[in-house]
A and B are shown apart, each in its own frame.
Chain A
Amino acid sequence: MFTPKPILQAAGILVAVSVAAAASPALAQSQDHFGFGTPIGPQELAKYSAIPADGTGLPPGSGTAAAGAKVFADSCAACHGDKGQGNPAKGVGGDRLLGGRGTLASDTPIKTVESYWPYATTLFDYVKRAMPFNAPGTLSDNDVYAVVAYVLSEAKIIKPTDTMNATTLPKVTMPNRDGFIPDSRPELDLYH
């Protein structure tokens, strides 16, 4: 779909690159590339992670709500409340995680993981990269699976006995899975 264009098409680069290539074989890169940067392989890329909805890239490991209850109590409850109710205290400000189902079309919408988040994979992705707030990225993959299982179980989205892993997590159907529409702007009513 997007064919890389030869570098010669980049405005203003034609002369400089051609001259450099002709004048010095040591500098002669492919005329399609500057040659800057260092190729990087799977081993170095392994430290990065971003998990789309289909679960691609989910790591090995697994966890259950029972194990997750302890992780939650140790690492999450201080900011999110022992029941996932959130904590608005000064210096904390942790979001509410549970409840709010059925409120999105009401006059008092409550957006939580349970009521609003469309994908369970997003919860794994976010917790793994950015939680706990004061020590981001410190939970093991097993602990992340476990605490995700705990939140989903408390939200009654999965059963307390369900195990979350790379296979089961992408199959979880969140209550608001179909709650999103593409940007519908520009708002044509404004052009009447």
Chain B
Amino acid sequence: MTVDVGTQLRKGVVESCVLALLEREPMYGWQLAETLTANGMIASIGTLYPMLSRLRAAGLVTTYNEASAAGPVRKYYELSAAGREQLEAFRAQWSTFVVTVDELVKRDDNHG
């Protein structure tokens, strides 16, 4: 059985993408879900909420409630200081990681 490569790849980075989105501004669940599904990072909110629970349990995000103009009180997720650190650590490694993987997986035109 071939494991879906896309799914495997996303698993490793989607949490960092959430941290990066939250770095720009605090967001509520649906906002995150829309952005992430639009970018093909998650399949459904079924993936999003367990992830948010994990991030919160790890202290990387915090939540607060705020009433929206339209009515419902929304739970906003916000990046914590620890989350910011984690995101920076990810950023620091990501670019070299991409280059390394690129080097490793690129087709060798001389031999093949």
Are A and B associated in one complex? no
B residues near A (Cβ < 8 Å) are none
A residues near B (Cβ < 8 Å) are none
